[in-house]
Copies of this chain bind each other. A is one copy, B any other.
């Protein structure tokens, strides 16, 4: 692939940033190695990155990523090695893994993701079975994926404090690919088997604000190490709770928060001579998949919310009510691929970057969320849609597409000054940003109490 273009006005800023990172590559990688001795990397994760040239950051960290089938298959061995490392740490003698995916069964692109994850684990010689906690699936069910592969879902049974399948299969490790937006089902509570990621990583208990609190610590330390202004990698945010979008409850407080944040951003823009108009993203503090997300340019916008927007914000996945939001500094996306806005998405397994792709959308502006509800991915090679949606033919004809990376951002040049904006450097820098978020997630999980059972 050729890299997306960066707007000419911001190309130099991006190059300067990349050079700053590259100049400290040895120290950065050594720092990461040290961090991973003190913090356990989550089993897997994906991040969405925004790149305006003058500011780059991952604005979301998903601990139950879908979309593994979207990665370049050439990185499969790397993903397998990383997964093996993680499985070994969880259960030293593990021969088998039970996967528990989301309950979507008609979204064949999500099923393709399940198949990809299954393959990654299979490829290190693990015996992998796919269990389901979907109450509608009461017997062994084989489903066809978007690309014509097949996966077999087996209802999981509870036997004492263990999960098992009908034939008694009860491995010591269970891999969740279900983000628990609808709550933690009884059947998953109090298991003696090792559950990865842990229940507390699910959206029942996880809060974006807790993640970004941990990210503050990581970003500050990293910025010092790399000799950069922390702001260039860390968006401002505030939390606003006690909201009820349906009844306009808390609307003024939200507007005040938006106003305050916009002003802080404007101040920083003024300091750096940035001409852009500040905006913020308002999103559910416990949410995922781009639902309950709004791009806001002025406090008035949240005061005068129409019914449609209020409805959009009021409920997210699995009908969860939104009463707490995070108001996060928006970062312009100045990367375009064939004229369409393009956002990098980076996938990690254990502490390693194992691939990534660009989310490309023709109809969206540089200050809009490309992962918003109603957006679907055009199948391009082996793409998936966002898992909560059931794909329709109409969706499939939309203008969203995925561009998988063909490399992993390995730095090829010795001489930092030669390192102009080449593909390997840009992908490497994304990988650094992604791992900062992964580290923040590790710290976030350490600081969370286990779920009481």
Smallest Cβ distance from A68 to chain B, in angstroms?
Answer: 15
Inter-chain CA distance A2–B427, complex, in Å, is: 32
Pair A125/B84 contact, Cβ less than 8 Å: no
In the assembled complex, how far is the CB of residue A375 from the closest CB belonging to chain B, in whole angstroms?
Answer: 30
- Count copies of this chain in the complex: 2
- Taking Cβ atoms with an 8 Å cutoff, the residues of A that contact B are 25-30, 32-34, 37, 74-78, 80-82, 84, 88, 92-96, 119, 122-127, 352, 408, 410-412, 414
- Complex Cα gap A122–B424 (Å): 14
If the complex has contacts A33-B88, A74-B74, A93-B34, are A26 and B127 also in contact, measured as CB distance less than 8 A? Answer: yes
A34 and B91 alpha carbons, distance in the complex (Å): 11
Task: Evaluate contact between A124 and B411: CB separation under 8 angstroms.
Answer: no
Least CB separation from A119: chain B residue: B412
How far apart sit A27 and B28, CA to CA, in the bound complex (Å)?
Answer: 38
7 A-B residue pairings within 8 Å (CB atoms): A26-B95, A33-B88, A33-B92, A33-B94, A75-B77, A119-B412, A122-B411
Contacts of A74 in B (CB 8 A): 74
Q: Is the CB of B410 within 8 A of A25?
A: no
A37 to B28, CA, bound (A): 29
Residues of B within 8 A of A408 (CB): 77
A119–B30 Cα distance when bound, in Å, is: 17
Residues of B within 8 A of A126 (CB): 26, 29-30
A81 near B34 with CB under 8 A, answer no
Question: What's the least CB distance linking A140 to chain B, in Å?
Answer: 15
Min CB distance A339 to B, Å, is 30
Bound together, the chains give a CA A30 to CA B74 distance in angstroms of 24
Contact in complex: B81, A352 (CB < 8 Å): yes
Closest to A407 in B: B77
8 closest Cβ contacts across the A-B interface?
Answer: A29-B125, A30-B95, A26-B127, A123-B410, A77-B408, A25-B125, A78-B78, A26-B125
A82 to B84, CA, bound (A): 12
Give chain B residues whose Cβ lies under 8 Å from the Cβ of A411: 122-123
Instruction: Identify the closest chain B residue to A72 (Cβ).
Output: B74
User: Does A125 contact B93, Cβ atoms closer than 8 Å?
Assistant: no
Q: A149 to chain B: closest CB distance in Å? A: 10
Question: A205 CA to B343 CA in the complex, in Å?
Answer: 56
Residues of B within 8 A of A124 (CB): 29
Cα distance, A38 to B125, chains bound together (Å): 19
| Shortest CB distance A428–B (Å) | 9
CB distance from A355 to the nearest CB of B (A): 10
- Give min CB distance, A147 to chain B, whole Å: 13
Contact between B78 and A125, CB atoms less than 8 A apart: no
Provide the bound-state CA to CA distance between A92 and B33, in Å. Answer: 8
Q: Contact between A410 and B80 (Cβ–Cβ < 8 Å)?
A: yes
CA distance A125 to B88 in the complex (A): 25
Centre residue among A25, A30, A125 by max chain B CB count within 10 A: A125
- Asked if A125 meets B28 with Cβ closer than 8 Å, knowing A76-B410, A77-B75, the reply is yes
Cα-based distance from A27 to B124 in the complex (angstroms) = 11
- Closest residue of B by beta carbon distance from A355: B77
